[in-house]
Structure 1
Amino acid sequence: MRLTHRSHCLALLFIVLPATRGLSDDELFSKVAMDSVFTTASSKLTNESEKTTLTIEAEAAKVDAIEDLDELFPLAKEIDEDAVRELGAIRVVSQADKWRLSTRMTLQGESPQVVFEMALVTLGETPVEGERAIWLSLMEIGQATPSTFFAVNRESAEAGKPGQLVLRSTLSAVGLTTESLRSKLQSLSQFAVEKSPAWSPLQAEAAKSTVKPAAAEFSLVGQWLATPVSGEAYAIELKATVDGSGPFQLVHVKDSKSTVSSGNYSLKEGQFSLQADAGAPLVFPLKWSGADQFELEIGSVQVNFSRQK
Protein backbone atom coordinates (compact mmCIF):
# COMPACT_ATOMS: atom_id res chain seq x y z
CA MET A 1 0.00 0.00 0.00
CA ARG A 2 1.21 3.53 -0.75
CA LEU A 3 0.89 4.82 2.80
CA THR A 4 2.78 1.86 4.28
CA HIS A 5 5.45 2.19 1.60
CA ARG A 6 5.97 5.92 2.13
CA SER A 7 5.80 5.59 5.93
CA HIS A 8 8.61 3.02 5.77
CA CYS A 9 10.71 5.40 3.66
CA LEU A 10 10.05 8.41 5.85
CA ALA A 11 11.13 6.41 8.90
CA LEU A 12 14.64 6.28 7.39
CA LEU A 13 14.99 10.05 7.63
CA PHE A 14 15.05 12.46 10.55
CA ILE A 15 11.46 13.72 10.98
CA VAL A 16 10.98 17.25 12.25
CA LEU A 17 7.78 17.03 14.24
CA PRO A 18 7.35 19.27 17.26
CA ALA A 19 5.16 17.97 20.03
CA THR A 20 1.59 19.12 19.74
CA ARG A 21 0.59 18.57 23.34
CA GLY A 22 -1.29 21.58 24.66
CA LEU A 23 -1.21 22.76 28.21
CA SER A 24 -4.38 23.16 30.19
CA ASP A 25 -5.32 26.73 31.17
CA ASP A 26 -4.35 26.02 34.78
CA GLU A 27 -0.94 24.65 33.73
CA LEU A 28 -0.29 27.60 31.45
CA PHE A 29 -1.26 30.14 34.11
CA SER A 30 1.22 28.45 36.42
CA LYS A 31 3.95 29.15 33.87
CA VAL A 32 2.87 32.59 32.76
CA ALA A 33 1.85 35.25 35.27
CA MET A 34 -1.04 36.47 33.20
CA ASP A 35 -1.90 39.46 35.38
CA SER A 36 1.61 40.82 35.03
CA VAL A 37 1.70 39.93 31.34
CA PHE A 38 -1.30 42.08 30.57
CA THR A 39 -0.40 44.97 32.86
CA THR A 40 3.36 45.32 32.38
CA ALA A 41 4.39 47.08 29.17
CA SER A 42 7.91 46.21 28.11
CA SER A 43 9.64 45.15 24.92
CA LYS A 44 12.73 43.88 26.72
CA LEU A 45 13.61 40.46 28.09
CA THR A 46 12.41 40.13 31.67
CA ASN A 47 15.82 38.86 32.64
CA GLU A 48 17.68 41.43 30.53
CA SER A 49 19.69 42.63 33.52
CA GLU A 50 21.24 39.15 33.77
CA LYS A 51 22.29 38.92 30.10
CA THR A 52 25.98 38.82 29.26
CA THR A 53 27.24 42.09 27.80
CA LEU A 54 28.15 41.61 24.13
CA THR A 55 31.18 43.15 22.46
CA ILE A 56 30.26 44.42 18.98
CA GLU A 57 32.62 45.42 16.21
CA ALA A 58 30.39 47.48 13.97
CA GLU A 59 32.32 47.25 10.69
CA ALA A 60 32.74 43.46 10.88
CA ALA A 61 29.23 42.94 12.30
CA LYS A 62 30.88 40.58 14.78
CA VAL A 63 29.72 39.65 18.26
CA ASP A 64 31.15 37.34 20.88
CA ALA A 65 27.99 35.24 20.73
CA ILE A 66 24.64 35.75 19.03
CA GLU A 67 22.17 35.10 21.84
CA ASP A 68 18.81 36.12 20.36
CA LEU A 69 17.12 36.80 17.05
CA ASP A 70 17.33 40.57 17.52
CA GLU A 71 21.10 40.24 17.17
CA LEU A 72 20.92 37.75 14.30
CA PHE A 73 18.43 39.74 12.21
CA PRO A 74 20.81 42.60 11.19
CA LEU A 75 23.28 40.02 9.86
CA ALA A 76 20.51 38.34 7.88
CA LYS A 77 19.43 41.70 6.41
CA GLU A 78 23.00 42.28 5.18
CA ILE A 79 22.72 39.04 3.23
CA ASP A 80 19.10 39.34 2.09
CA GLU A 81 17.53 42.78 2.31
CA ASP A 82 14.11 41.13 2.12
CA ALA A 83 14.80 38.89 5.15
CA VAL A 84 11.66 38.41 7.25
CA ARG A 85 11.45 38.26 11.04
CA GLU A 86 8.97 35.62 12.20
CA LEU A 87 7.97 34.66 15.73
CA GLY A 88 10.84 32.46 16.86
CA ALA A 89 12.69 32.50 13.53
CA ILE A 90 14.20 34.51 10.67
CA ARG A 91 13.60 33.61 7.02
CA VAL A 92 15.92 34.44 4.12
CA VAL A 93 15.69 33.55 0.43
CA SER A 94 18.61 32.71 -1.86
CA GLN A 95 18.84 32.00 -5.57
CA ALA A 96 20.95 29.00 -6.60
CA ASP A 97 20.99 27.84 -10.20
CA LYS A 98 17.29 27.46 -11.15
CA TRP A 99 16.19 27.04 -7.54
CA ARG A 100 14.82 29.77 -5.30
CA LEU A 101 15.52 28.46 -1.79
CA SER A 102 13.84 29.68 1.39
CA THR A 103 15.76 29.07 4.63
CA ARG A 104 14.37 29.32 8.15
CA MET A 105 16.94 30.16 10.86
CA THR A 106 16.45 29.65 14.61
CA LEU A 107 18.70 29.75 17.68
CA GLN A 108 18.96 26.76 20.01
CA GLY A 109 21.00 25.65 23.00
CA GLU A 110 22.80 27.27 25.92
CA SER A 111 25.94 27.49 23.77
CA PRO A 112 23.81 28.89 20.97
CA GLN A 113 23.77 27.39 17.53
CA VAL A 114 22.05 28.70 14.44
CA VAL A 115 19.80 25.97 13.07
CA PHE A 116 19.16 26.15 9.31
CA GLU A 117 16.18 24.52 7.63
CA MET A 118 16.23 25.03 3.86
CA ALA A 119 12.94 24.15 2.17
CA LEU A 120 13.44 22.07 -0.97
CA VAL A 121 10.19 20.54 -2.23
CA THR A 122 6.62 19.94 -1.13
CA LEU A 123 5.83 16.24 -1.09
CA GLY A 124 2.91 15.15 -3.22
CA GLU A 125 -0.01 12.98 -2.18
CA THR A 126 0.72 10.58 -5.05
CA PRO A 127 3.97 8.58 -4.92
CA VAL A 128 6.46 9.17 -7.70
CA GLU A 129 8.14 6.50 -9.76
CA GLY A 130 11.05 4.88 -7.95
CA GLU A 131 10.26 6.69 -4.71
CA ARG A 132 11.79 4.03 -2.46
CA ALA A 133 15.14 4.35 -4.24
CA ILE A 134 14.97 8.15 -3.87
CA TRP A 135 14.52 7.93 -0.09
CA LEU A 136 17.35 5.42 0.21
CA SER A 137 19.62 7.73 -1.78
CA LEU A 138 18.79 10.68 0.47
CA MET A 139 19.49 8.56 3.54
CA GLU A 140 22.92 7.58 2.16
CA ILE A 141 23.77 11.22 1.43
CA GLY A 142 22.83 12.15 4.99
CA GLN A 143 25.04 9.40 6.42
CA ALA A 144 27.99 10.72 4.43
CA THR A 145 27.45 14.32 5.65
CA PRO A 146 26.46 14.10 9.34
CA SER A 147 26.43 17.88 9.88
CA THR A 148 24.10 18.50 6.92
CA PHE A 149 21.28 16.13 6.14
CA PHE A 150 17.84 15.80 4.59
CA ALA A 151 14.77 15.68 6.81
CA VAL A 152 11.00 15.71 6.44
CA ASN A 153 9.06 18.52 8.03
CA ARG A 154 5.65 17.05 8.81
CA GLU A 155 4.19 20.03 10.71
CA SER A 156 1.84 20.99 7.88
CA ALA A 157 1.01 17.36 7.20
CA GLU A 158 -0.62 17.11 10.60
CA ALA A 159 -3.21 19.62 9.35
CA GLY A 160 -3.97 17.40 6.38
CA LYS A 161 -1.42 19.02 4.07
CA PRO A 162 1.63 17.49 2.36
CA GLY A 163 4.92 17.37 4.21
CA GLN A 164 8.04 19.18 3.05
CA LEU A 165 11.54 17.94 2.31
CA VAL A 166 14.16 20.21 3.93
CA LEU A 167 17.93 20.41 4.18
CA ARG A 168 18.96 20.82 7.81
CA SER A 169 22.28 22.01 9.26
CA THR A 170 23.76 23.95 12.20
CA LEU A 171 26.45 26.58 12.82
CA SER A 172 27.88 27.87 16.09
CA ALA A 173 26.60 31.34 16.99
CA VAL A 174 29.86 32.13 18.83
CA GLY A 175 31.96 34.59 16.83
CA LEU A 176 29.34 34.68 14.09
CA THR A 177 29.82 37.38 11.43
CA THR A 178 27.91 38.46 8.37
CA GLU A 179 30.49 36.78 6.18
CA SER A 180 30.50 33.48 8.06
CA LEU A 181 26.71 33.43 7.95
CA ARG A 182 26.75 34.27 4.23
CA SER A 183 29.32 31.53 3.61
CA LYS A 184 27.18 28.96 5.43
CA LEU A 185 24.06 29.85 3.45
CA GLN A 186 26.03 29.72 0.20
CA SER A 187 27.48 26.31 1.05
CA LEU A 188 24.01 24.99 1.89
CA SER A 189 22.63 26.34 -1.39
CA GLN A 190 25.52 24.80 -3.32
CA PHE A 191 25.01 21.47 -1.55
CA ALA A 192 21.29 21.56 -2.35
CA VAL A 193 21.96 22.25 -6.03
CA GLU A 194 24.63 19.55 -6.27
CA LYS A 195 22.25 16.99 -4.77
CA SER A 196 19.17 18.20 -6.65
CA PRO A 197 19.18 15.16 -8.99
CA ALA A 198 18.55 13.06 -5.87
CA TRP A 199 15.70 15.10 -4.37
CA SER A 200 14.08 17.03 -7.23
CA PRO A 201 12.03 14.02 -8.47
CA LEU A 202 9.99 14.32 -5.27
CA GLN A 203 8.80 17.81 -6.19
CA ALA A 204 5.02 18.25 -6.32
CA GLU A 205 2.96 21.05 -7.76
CA ALA A 206 2.99 24.13 -5.55
CA ALA A 207 0.15 24.00 -3.07
CA LYS A 208 -2.45 26.69 -3.45
CA SER A 209 -2.89 29.04 -0.53
CA THR A 210 -5.84 28.14 1.69
CA VAL A 211 -5.73 31.37 3.68
CA LYS A 212 -9.13 33.07 3.77
CA PRO A 213 -9.96 36.61 4.83
CA ALA A 214 -10.92 36.95 8.48
CA ALA A 215 -14.64 36.85 9.13
CA ALA A 216 -15.84 40.41 9.74
CA GLU A 217 -18.19 39.36 12.55
CA PHE A 218 -15.36 38.02 14.72
CA SER A 219 -13.46 40.40 16.98
CA LEU A 220 -9.79 40.12 17.92
CA VAL A 221 -10.26 42.31 20.99
CA GLY A 222 -9.46 40.37 24.16
CA GLN A 223 -6.86 38.02 25.64
CA TRP A 224 -5.62 34.98 23.73
CA LEU A 225 -3.42 31.98 24.57
CA ALA A 226 -1.51 29.46 22.44
CA THR A 227 0.68 26.49 23.42
CA PRO A 228 2.18 25.18 20.16
CA VAL A 229 4.58 22.70 21.83
CA SER A 230 5.43 21.57 25.34
CA GLY A 231 7.45 24.22 27.16
CA GLU A 232 6.41 27.04 24.83
CA ALA A 233 3.47 29.44 25.11
CA TYR A 234 2.18 32.71 23.68
CA ALA A 235 -0.16 35.08 25.52
CA ILE A 236 -1.42 38.19 23.77
CA GLU A 237 -3.84 40.97 24.64
CA LEU A 238 -5.43 42.92 21.77
CA LYS A 239 -7.36 46.12 22.39
CA ALA A 240 -9.95 47.89 20.25
CA THR A 241 -8.71 49.32 16.97
CA VAL A 242 -8.91 52.86 15.68
CA ASP A 243 -8.69 53.19 11.88
CA GLY A 244 -7.79 49.50 11.65
CA SER A 245 -4.93 49.52 14.16
CA GLY A 246 -4.87 48.96 17.92
CA PRO A 247 -2.42 48.30 20.77
CA PHE A 248 -1.18 44.82 21.65
CA GLN A 249 0.89 43.26 24.40
CA LEU A 250 2.57 39.89 23.83
CA VAL A 251 4.53 37.49 26.03
CA HIS A 252 6.43 34.53 24.59
CA VAL A 253 7.63 31.84 27.03
CA LYS A 254 10.11 29.17 25.94
CA ASP A 255 12.42 27.01 28.04
CA SER A 256 11.53 29.04 31.18
CA LYS A 257 12.60 32.30 29.51
CA SER A 258 10.04 34.98 28.70
CA THR A 259 10.00 37.93 26.32
CA VAL A 260 7.40 40.69 26.57
CA SER A 261 6.72 43.12 23.72
CA SER A 262 4.13 45.74 22.89
CA GLY A 263 3.10 47.94 19.98
CA ASN A 264 0.23 48.06 17.49
CA TYR A 265 -1.55 45.34 15.54
CA SER A 266 -3.76 45.33 12.48
CA LEU A 267 -5.76 42.80 10.47
CA LYS A 268 -6.42 43.30 6.78
CA GLU A 269 -7.59 40.72 4.24
CA GLY A 270 -6.53 37.82 6.43
CA GLN A 271 -3.07 39.23 7.16
CA PHE A 272 -2.33 39.81 10.87
CA SER A 273 0.44 42.37 11.47
CA LEU A 274 2.35 43.14 14.68
CA GLN A 275 4.38 46.35 14.73
CA ALA A 276 6.42 46.39 17.96
CA ASP A 277 7.81 49.56 19.50
CA ALA A 278 11.14 48.64 17.89
CA GLY A 279 12.06 46.49 14.89
CA ALA A 280 10.42 45.47 11.64
CA PRO A 281 6.71 44.50 11.52
CA LEU A 282 5.78 40.82 11.65
CA VAL A 283 3.03 39.65 9.28
CA PHE A 284 1.23 36.30 9.48
CA PRO A 285 -1.73 34.77 7.63
CA LEU A 286 -4.70 34.45 10.00
CA LYS A 287 -7.59 32.01 9.68
CA TRP A 288 -10.61 31.90 11.97
CA SER A 289 -11.87 28.61 13.42
CA GLY A 290 -14.74 30.37 15.19
CA ALA A 291 -15.42 33.49 17.21
CA ASP A 292 -13.14 32.29 20.02
CA GLN A 293 -10.31 30.65 18.09
CA PHE A 294 -7.98 31.62 15.28
CA GLU A 295 -4.89 30.14 13.67
CA LEU A 296 -1.70 32.01 12.77
CA GLU A 297 0.66 30.61 10.17
CA ILE A 298 4.10 31.29 11.72
CA GLY A 299 6.62 30.08 9.17
CA SER A 300 5.53 26.51 8.41
CA VAL A 301 3.86 26.06 11.81
CA GLN A 302 0.12 26.50 12.42
CA VAL A 303 -0.34 28.05 15.90
CA ASN A 304 -3.85 27.99 17.40
CA PHE A 305 -4.93 30.82 19.72
CA SER A 306 -7.94 30.52 22.03
CA ARG A 307 -9.84 33.39 23.58
CA GLN A 308 -9.61 33.70 27.38
CA LYS A 309 -12.91 34.60 29.03
Structure 2
Amino acid sequence: MRQSHSVFVTVVASVAAWVGACALISAPALANTPPKNIALISAVGDQFSVVRQKQTVGTNFIDNHTRQTVTVPDQGVNYAVLRGLDRALAIEHPQSNRVFLTLAPEETPTTVLPQDREAYVYKRAVSLIESMPQRKDWDQIVLVTPKWLLSARSGMGSKLTGVGLYVQPLEGGSISVDGSNFESEIGLSLGDDVETPNKDQVRSKTYLAPFFYATVTTLDAKTMKVITQESRHDFRKIYDPESTAIDVQKSIPADKLAGMIDRFMETAAFRSMTKQSSSVEIGPVRTLPDAPKK
Protein backbone atom coordinates (compact mmCIF):
# COMPACT_ATOMS: atom_id res chain seq x y z
CA MET A 1 0.00 0.00 0.00
CA ARG A 2 1.43 3.38 -0.95
CA GLN A 3 1.79 5.72 1.99
CA SER A 4 1.01 8.75 -0.20
CA HIS A 5 -2.43 7.28 -0.86
CA SER A 6 -3.37 6.38 2.70
CA VAL A 7 -7.05 5.55 2.96
CA PHE A 8 -7.33 7.54 6.14
CA VAL A 9 -7.61 11.30 5.96
CA THR A 10 -7.30 13.57 8.98
CA VAL A 11 -10.13 16.04 9.32
CA VAL A 12 -8.55 19.41 9.97
CA ALA A 13 -10.48 22.32 8.51
CA SER A 14 -13.75 21.90 10.42
CA VAL A 15 -12.40 20.60 13.70
CA ALA A 16 -11.50 23.99 15.13
CA ALA A 17 -15.07 25.20 14.77
CA TRP A 18 -16.44 22.04 16.38
CA VAL A 19 -14.06 22.21 19.33
CA GLY A 20 -14.76 25.90 19.82
CA ALA A 21 -18.49 25.24 20.00
CA CYS A 22 -17.99 22.31 22.34
CA ALA A 23 -15.91 24.43 24.71
CA LEU A 24 -19.07 26.29 25.64
CA ILE A 25 -20.57 23.16 27.18
CA SER A 26 -17.41 21.54 28.53
CA ALA A 27 -17.28 20.79 32.25
CA PRO A 28 -14.10 20.78 34.39
CA ALA A 29 -12.35 17.44 34.62
CA LEU A 30 -11.48 15.87 37.95
CA ALA A 31 -8.24 17.11 39.46
CA ASN A 32 -5.13 15.15 38.48
CA THR A 33 -7.12 13.08 35.97
CA PRO A 34 -5.18 12.86 32.70
CA PRO A 35 -7.32 13.56 29.63
CA LYS A 36 -8.14 10.67 27.34
CA ASN A 37 -6.85 10.62 23.81
CA ILE A 38 -9.75 9.40 21.68
CA ALA A 39 -9.68 8.77 17.94
CA LEU A 40 -13.03 9.25 16.21
CA ILE A 41 -13.13 7.41 12.89
CA SER A 42 -16.00 7.46 10.41
CA ALA A 43 -15.89 4.67 7.84
CA VAL A 44 -19.49 5.21 6.71
CA GLY A 45 -18.14 6.39 3.36
CA ASP A 46 -19.80 8.47 0.66
CA GLN A 47 -22.53 6.10 -0.57
CA PHE A 48 -26.06 7.41 0.00
CA SER A 49 -29.00 5.12 -0.81
CA VAL A 50 -32.37 6.31 -2.09
CA VAL A 51 -34.89 3.48 -1.64
CA ARG A 52 -38.48 3.91 -2.83
CA GLN A 53 -41.46 1.62 -2.25
CA LYS A 54 -43.26 0.73 -5.49
CA GLN A 55 -46.72 -0.55 -6.30
CA THR A 56 -46.70 -4.28 -7.00
CA VAL A 57 -49.19 -6.71 -8.52
CA GLY A 58 -49.37 -10.23 -7.14
CA THR A 59 -47.32 -11.85 -4.42
CA ASN A 60 -44.47 -13.26 -6.49
CA PHE A 61 -42.05 -10.36 -6.42
CA ILE A 62 -38.43 -10.36 -5.32
CA ASP A 63 -38.16 -6.75 -4.20
CA ASN A 64 -40.93 -4.16 -4.14
CA HIS A 65 -38.51 -1.24 -3.99
CA THR A 66 -36.48 0.75 -6.46
CA ARG A 67 -32.94 1.43 -5.29
CA GLN A 68 -30.42 4.04 -6.30
CA THR A 69 -27.02 4.82 -4.83
CA VAL A 70 -25.58 8.30 -5.18
CA THR A 71 -22.18 9.62 -4.17
CA VAL A 72 -22.09 12.45 -1.64
CA PRO A 73 -19.19 14.80 -2.50
CA ASP A 74 -16.63 16.37 -0.19
CA GLN A 75 -16.87 13.77 2.59
CA GLY A 76 -20.29 15.15 3.51
CA VAL A 77 -21.53 11.97 5.21
CA ASN A 78 -18.36 11.26 7.17
CA TYR A 79 -18.08 14.86 8.33
CA ALA A 80 -21.67 14.87 9.60
CA VAL A 81 -20.94 11.68 11.56
CA LEU A 82 -17.76 13.16 13.05
CA ARG A 83 -19.56 16.33 14.11
CA GLY A 84 -22.11 14.25 15.99
CA LEU A 85 -19.45 12.10 17.67
CA ASP A 86 -17.51 15.18 18.67
CA ARG A 87 -20.57 16.79 20.28
CA ALA A 88 -21.21 13.63 22.28
CA LEU A 89 -17.61 13.22 23.43
CA ALA A 90 -17.52 16.89 24.43
CA ILE A 91 -20.23 16.01 26.96
CA GLU A 92 -19.07 12.54 28.00
CA HIS A 93 -15.35 13.38 28.12
CA PRO A 94 -15.12 17.19 27.95
CA GLN A 95 -11.37 17.36 28.55
CA SER A 96 -10.47 14.60 26.12
CA ASN A 97 -8.11 15.13 23.22
CA ARG A 98 -9.96 14.07 20.09
CA VAL A 99 -8.46 13.03 16.77
CA PHE A 100 -10.69 12.98 13.68
CA LEU A 101 -10.22 10.47 10.86
CA THR A 102 -12.30 9.33 7.90
CA LEU A 103 -12.17 6.45 5.45
CA ALA A 104 -11.45 8.07 2.10
CA PRO A 105 -14.43 7.87 -0.31
CA GLU A 106 -12.37 6.53 -3.21
CA GLU A 107 -11.55 3.48 -1.13
CA THR A 108 -15.17 2.69 -0.20
CA PRO A 109 -16.02 -0.68 -1.81
CA THR A 110 -18.64 -0.18 -4.51
CA THR A 111 -18.50 -3.70 -5.94
CA VAL A 112 -19.17 -5.50 -2.66
CA LEU A 113 -22.76 -6.69 -2.17
CA PRO A 114 -24.73 -4.69 0.43
CA GLN A 115 -25.06 -7.67 2.76
CA ASP A 116 -21.26 -8.13 2.70
CA ARG A 117 -20.36 -4.45 2.94
CA GLU A 118 -20.78 -4.28 6.71
CA ALA A 119 -18.21 -7.00 7.48
CA TYR A 120 -15.90 -5.88 4.65
CA VAL A 121 -15.66 -2.27 5.78
CA TYR A 122 -15.28 -3.15 9.47
CA LYS A 123 -12.54 -5.74 8.90
CA ARG A 124 -10.66 -3.46 6.55
CA ALA A 125 -10.91 -0.45 8.84
CA VAL A 126 -9.64 -2.41 11.85
CA SER A 127 -6.73 -3.77 9.80
CA LEU A 128 -5.73 -0.27 8.74
CA ILE A 129 -6.04 1.13 12.25
CA GLU A 130 -3.81 -1.63 13.61
CA SER A 131 -1.03 -0.54 11.26
CA MET A 132 -1.17 3.13 12.24
CA PRO A 133 1.87 4.17 14.34
CA GLN A 134 -0.03 7.03 16.00
CA ARG A 135 -2.31 4.47 17.66
CA LYS A 136 0.23 4.20 20.49
CA ASP A 137 -0.74 7.72 21.56
CA TRP A 138 -4.47 6.95 21.78
CA ASP A 139 -6.46 5.49 24.66
CA GLN A 140 -9.67 4.62 22.84
CA ILE A 141 -11.01 4.44 19.30
CA VAL A 142 -14.61 5.06 18.28
CA LEU A 143 -15.25 3.50 14.87
CA VAL A 144 -18.49 3.97 12.90
CA THR A 145 -19.19 1.55 10.04
CA PRO A 146 -22.31 0.93 7.91
CA LYS A 147 -24.87 -1.60 9.16
CA TRP A 148 -26.94 -3.80 6.84
CA LEU A 149 -30.44 -4.90 7.83
CA LEU A 150 -32.26 -7.55 5.80
CA SER A 151 -35.75 -7.28 7.26
CA ALA A 152 -38.20 -4.38 7.11
CA ARG A 153 -39.20 -2.82 10.41
CA SER A 154 -41.24 0.07 11.75
CA GLY A 155 -42.49 1.10 8.32
CA MET A 156 -38.98 1.19 6.88
CA GLY A 157 -38.03 -0.92 3.87
CA SER A 158 -35.96 -4.07 3.80
CA LYS A 159 -32.30 -4.40 2.79
CA LEU A 160 -31.29 -0.95 4.00
CA THR A 161 -27.65 -0.19 4.70
CA GLY A 162 -25.57 2.74 5.90
CA VAL A 163 -27.17 6.12 5.35
CA GLY A 164 -29.88 7.08 2.93
CA LEU A 165 -33.45 8.16 2.29
CA TYR A 166 -36.45 5.83 2.35
CA VAL A 167 -39.43 7.04 0.30
CA GLN A 168 -42.92 5.71 1.09
CA PRO A 169 -45.19 7.18 -1.63
CA LEU A 170 -48.11 4.73 -1.43
CA GLU A 171 -51.47 5.72 -0.02
CA GLY A 172 -52.69 2.12 -0.33
CA GLY A 173 -51.20 -1.34 -0.42
CA SER A 174 -50.22 -3.71 -3.18
CA ILE A 175 -52.90 -5.36 -5.33
CA SER A 176 -52.98 -9.09 -5.81
CA VAL A 177 -54.07 -10.79 -9.02
CA ASP A 178 -57.62 -11.27 -7.67
CA GLY A 179 -57.92 -7.60 -6.72
CA SER A 180 -57.55 -8.05 -2.97
CA ASN A 181 -55.17 -5.94 -0.92
CA PHE A 182 -52.68 -8.06 0.98
CA GLU A 183 -50.42 -5.34 2.39
CA SER A 184 -52.58 -4.37 5.33
CA GLU A 185 -49.65 -2.59 6.96
CA ILE A 186 -49.95 0.08 4.28
CA GLY A 187 -53.49 -0.21 3.01
CA LEU A 188 -55.46 -0.62 6.24
CA SER A 189 -53.49 1.46 8.71
CA LEU A 190 -54.23 5.06 9.61
CA GLY A 191 -50.68 5.92 8.74
CA ASP A 192 -47.41 6.12 10.63
CA ASP A 193 -46.38 8.59 13.29
CA VAL A 194 -44.39 11.19 11.38
CA GLU A 195 -43.04 14.70 11.82
CA THR A 196 -43.64 17.80 9.77
CA PRO A 197 -40.60 19.86 8.75
CA ASN A 198 -41.40 21.97 11.84
CA LYS A 199 -41.31 18.79 13.98
CA ASP A 200 -45.04 18.75 14.73
CA GLN A 201 -46.44 15.25 15.27
CA VAL A 202 -48.96 14.00 12.67
CA ARG A 203 -49.92 10.72 11.02
CA SER A 204 -49.44 9.92 7.35
CA LYS A 205 -49.24 6.90 5.05
CA THR A 206 -46.70 8.68 2.85
CA TYR A 207 -43.41 10.09 4.07
CA LEU A 208 -39.73 10.63 3.50
CA ALA A 209 -37.43 8.97 6.02
CA PRO A 210 -33.69 9.64 6.23
CA PHE A 211 -32.03 6.70 7.96
CA PHE A 212 -28.75 5.99 9.74
CA TYR A 213 -27.99 2.27 10.00
CA ALA A 214 -24.56 1.88 11.54
CA THR A 215 -22.41 -0.07 13.94
CA VAL A 216 -20.57 1.99 16.54
CA THR A 217 -17.58 0.18 18.04
CA THR A 218 -15.38 1.43 20.87
CA LEU A 219 -11.98 -0.25 20.99
CA ASP A 220 -9.02 -0.17 23.33
CA ALA A 221 -6.41 1.58 21.21
CA LYS A 222 -3.48 -0.38 22.62
CA THR A 223 -4.90 -3.91 22.41
CA MET A 224 -7.60 -3.35 19.74
CA LYS A 225 -10.03 -5.30 21.91
CA VAL A 226 -13.69 -4.34 21.59
CA ILE A 227 -14.99 -2.45 24.63
CA THR A 228 -18.52 -1.88 23.37
CA GLN A 229 -20.32 -2.45 20.08
CA GLU A 230 -23.78 -1.15 19.29
CA SER A 231 -26.06 -1.46 16.28
CA ARG A 232 -27.99 1.67 15.35
CA HIS A 233 -31.22 1.75 13.34
CA ASP A 234 -32.12 5.43 13.48
CA PHE A 235 -34.63 7.16 11.23
CA ARG A 236 -36.86 10.20 11.02
CA LYS A 237 -40.14 10.04 9.10
CA ILE A 238 -41.07 13.39 7.57
CA TYR A 239 -44.29 14.54 5.89
CA ASP A 240 -45.23 18.06 4.83
CA PRO A 241 -49.04 18.44 5.00
CA GLU A 242 -48.80 21.87 3.38
CA SER A 243 -47.11 20.60 0.23
CA THR A 244 -49.18 20.45 -2.96
CA ALA A 245 -46.84 17.97 -4.65
CA ILE A 246 -48.53 14.78 -5.83
CA ASP A 247 -45.34 12.77 -5.31
CA VAL A 248 -44.15 12.81 -1.69
CA GLN A 249 -40.56 12.62 -2.92
CA LYS A 250 -41.02 16.11 -4.38
CA SER A 251 -42.86 17.52 -1.37
CA ILE A 252 -39.78 19.12 0.20
CA PRO A 253 -37.35 21.23 -1.88
CA ALA A 254 -34.09 19.39 -2.53
CA ASP A 255 -31.86 21.95 -0.81
CA LYS A 256 -34.07 22.03 2.28
CA LEU A 257 -34.24 18.24 2.42
CA ALA A 258 -30.45 17.99 2.08
CA GLY A 259 -30.02 20.25 5.10
CA MET A 260 -32.51 18.19 7.10
CA ILE A 261 -30.68 14.97 6.20
CA ASP A 262 -27.30 16.44 7.16
CA ARG A 263 -28.62 17.52 10.56
CA PHE A 264 -30.29 14.14 11.04
CA MET A 265 -27.04 12.25 10.39
CA GLU A 266 -25.18 14.45 12.86
CA THR A 267 -27.88 13.97 15.50
CA ALA A 268 -27.97 10.20 14.92
CA ALA A 269 -24.21 9.99 15.40
CA PHE A 270 -24.51 12.10 18.55
CA ARG A 271 -27.18 9.77 19.93
CA SER A 272 -25.02 6.74 19.20
CA MET A 273 -22.65 7.84 21.96
CA THR A 274 -25.32 8.50 24.58
CA LYS A 275 -26.60 6.03 27.15
CA GLN A 276 -28.83 3.94 24.90
CA SER A 277 -29.38 0.20 24.62
CA SER A 278 -28.23 -1.72 21.55
CA SER A 279 -30.29 -2.03 18.35
CA VAL A 280 -31.80 1.39 18.94
CA GLU A 281 -34.66 2.66 16.78
CA ILE A 282 -35.24 6.40 16.78
CA GLY A 283 -38.57 7.60 15.45
CA PRO A 284 -40.85 10.51 16.32
CA VAL A 285 -41.06 11.34 20.00
CA ARG A 286 -44.30 10.11 21.50
CA THR A 287 -45.89 10.14 24.96
CA LEU A 288 -46.14 6.73 26.57
CA PRO A 289 -49.04 5.80 28.89
CA ASP A 290 -48.36 5.27 32.56
CA ALA A 291 -47.50 1.73 33.59
CA PRO A 292 -50.46 -0.18 35.07
CA LYS A 293 -50.56 -0.23 38.84
CA LYS A 294 -49.79 -3.55 40.47
Which bin holds the TM-score, normalised by the shorter protein?
Answer: under 0.3
Instruction: Please give the TM-score of this superposition, normalised by the length of structure 1.
Output: 0.24
Question: Whose strand proportion is higher, 1 or 2?
Answer: 1
